[in-house]
Structure 1
Amino acid sequence: MEIIGYAASVLIGISLGLIGGGGSILTVPVLVYLFGLDTLLATEYSLFIVGISSLAGSWSYFKKGMVSCKTALVFGLPSVISIFLTRTYLLPLIPEEIFRIQSFTVTRNIFLLLIFAGLMILASYKMIRADRPAEPLESKNNILLATRQGSIVGVLTGLVGAGGGFMIIPALVNLLKIPIKTAIGTSLVIISFNSLIGFSSSVNNTKINWNLLLSITGIAVTGIIIGSQLSKKMDGKVLKPVFGWFILVMGIYIIIKEIFL
C-alpha cells in the first residue's frame, strides 16, 4: 500500500503544478488509507507536504512574473489568521467521540474525514462544471468578498489540511480579475504560506515521523516540477474536469467507507 501511496504522492504534485489546486485534496486520504496514519496526524502531515510542494511549484511562476504579491497578501492574510485560530483553538475542542447513533459512533477521525469528503465533492463540482463569467462587482466589494473567501479557506485548511486551491483560483479570477496563469502562481504562494504556517502552529503538539514525511514531500515536489513543465505544453482546463470526476469518486468512497463499511 505504501508503494501505491508514493505513486499517489506524485499525482498530488502534478495536479498542483498543472492546474494550481486539487492535488492537496488527495493528500489526507492518501495518508490515511495508504499510509495508515491517524486522521488528525494526517492533516498535520498534509499541511507540510502541500506547503513545501506549493512553494516549490510557485518558484517557476514567480520567475516569470506570474505571481501577484499584493493579491497574495490581501487573500492570504485572513487565511493565515483563520488557520492559526483553527489549529490552536478549534481543533483541540473536538472530542474523541462526538456522538453515537445506536451502534454507530462518530469519532473525531470519522468527523474530519466526512468533512473532507464533503470538501472533495464540492471541489469536484467546481472542477467539472464549465467556467462561467462572474457578474461585474465594485472593486471594494470584490476585495471584501476575496477577504471573506480567504477566511473560509483558512478554516478549511486548518481543519482538514487541504490547500483550498479549488476555492482560491476562482476567487482570484472572478473577484479580483487576475489572468488564469497568474492566478495559479498566486494560488500556489497562498497555499504554501497557509499550509506551512498551519503546520508550524501545531507541530509542537505532534510526534512527527520525519523520514516518512520528508520522503512523501520529496516525491510530491518531484510531481509538482513535472506538473509545472507539463503546464507549458498542456491546457490545465482540459484535464481539470477529468481530475474532478476522480475526486468525486474518492469523496463518495470515503463517505461509504466511514459510514457503511
Structure 2
Amino acid sequence: MDILEILGYFGALLIGVVLGLIGGGGSILTVPVLVYLLAINPVTATAYSLFVVGTSALVGALRNIPKKLIDFRTAIVFAIPAFIAVYLTRKFLVPAIPEEIFTLGSFTLTKGIGIMIFFAIIMIVAAISMIKEKDNGRNLKEEKVSYNYPLIIVEGVVVGLLTGIVGAGGGFLIIPALVLLAKLPMKKAVATSLLIIAIKSLIGFIGDVQNMEINWVFLFIFTGLSIGGIWLGVYLNNFVNGKKLKKAFGWFVLLMGVYIIWSEIY
C-alpha cells in the first residue's frame, strides 16, 4: 500500500467527518479522492461516489427519523423525479458520451476530462454557496409547509441529472429548494435532503451495476470508513463552530475546483 492509497483511505474518513461536522459538503470530496489519490477512472469514480454518498446519507437520514425532522411527503415529491433522472443519466446518458468529445489543437477533451471539468464547475458553485450562505431565519420559526409541485419536480429532475453526471449528492441545490419551494424550516430541510440524496444516489447506482464491474470489497471498505467518519464528525461537532468551519471548507472546495480544472487542461 503506497502513500497515495493510504491518503485515499484517510480521505474516505475525512468525507464522513465533514458530513458529520457541517451536515453536507463531504460528498463533493469523494470523486477527487477516488480519482487523484486512488487512481480510479472518473466514470467509475462517479459511480462509486453515488454508493458512498447514498449510503452515508441514508445513515444520516435514519438518525433523523426518531427526531421527526424528515418531511416524508416533500421527500417523495422531490425524490421521484430526481431518482428517475439520475437512473436514466447513469444507465443511458453517461455511457453514450463518446470517449473523445473533441480535439482543439494539441488538446483533446476526453470523456474523463470532461466529467472532471464539469465536476470542478459544480464544486466551485457549491463552494460559493457555502462561503456566501447566510442564516435566513427559517431555522428560528416554523412556517406552514406548502408545495409548489411543478417547481419541486423540475428541481428534482435538474438535481438528478447533475448527480448522475458528477456523482455528488447535490445538497447545496436541494436544501435551498426545500426551504424556498416547500417552506420547510432549515433543520427539516437538511434532514429531508439526506433522505432524498440517499434514495436518488442508491437508485442511480443501480444503473451503474448494470453497466460496469464493481469492486465491492473496496467499495464497502471505503464506505465503511466514511460512515465511521460521520460518527466522529458528529462527536467533534460539540467542540467546533460549524458555521465558521463550513465557510473555511467552502474556500478549500473552491481552491480544489480551480486546481482540478487547471490540472485537467494543463
Letter in 2 for 1:86: T
2:45 counterpart (42, 46, 65)? 42
- Provide the TM-score with structure 2 as the length reference: 0.91
1:53 counterpart (41, 48, 56)? 56
Matching residue of 1:64: 67
Q: Aligned residues, how many?
A: 257
2:227 counterpart (221, 225, 231)? 221
CA 235–179 in structure 1, closer or farther in 2 if over 3 Å, else same: farther
The unaligned stretches of length 5 or more in structure 2 are 138-142
Identical positions, percent: 51
Matching residue of 2:140: none
CA 81–149 in structure 1, closer or farther in 2 if over 3 Å, else same: same
CA contact (8 A) 2:7 2:37 kept: yes
Matching residue of 1:127: 130
CA contact (8 A) 1:20 1:165 kept: no
Q: Give the C-alpha shift of residue 234 in structure 1.
A: 4.8
CA 116–202 in structure 1, closer or farther in 2 if over 3 Å, else same: same
Alignment RMSD: 2.0
Letter in 2 for 1:17: G
Determine the C-alpha separation between the residues in 2 that align with 1:143 and 1:14: 34
CA contact (8 A) 1:48 1:195 kept: yes
- Match status 1:22 vs 2:28: no
Matching residue of 2:243: 237
Q: Give the C-alpha shift of residue 132 in structure 1.
A: 6.6
Q: Give the C-alpha shift of residue 228 in structure 1.
A: 3.2
Determine the C-alpha separation between the residues in 2 that align with 1:99 and 1:148: 30
Matching residue of 2:165: 159
Determine the C-alpha separation between the residues in 1 that align with 2:87 and 2:214: 19
- SS of equivalent residue, structure 1 residue 80: helix
Q: Give the C-alpha shift of residue 230 in structure 1.
A: 4.1
Q: Give the C-alpha shift of residue 3 in structure 1.
A: 1.2
Q: Give the C-alpha shift of residue 144 in structure 1.
A: 2.5
Which region of structure 1 is more displaced relative to structure 2, 163-172 or 13-22? 13-22
- Provide the TM-score with structure 1 as the length reference: 0.92
- 1:49-75 superposed Cα distances (whole Å, 9 cap, x missing partner): 111111112221112111111111111
> Aligned runs of 1:56-95 on 2, under 5 Å?
56-95=59-98
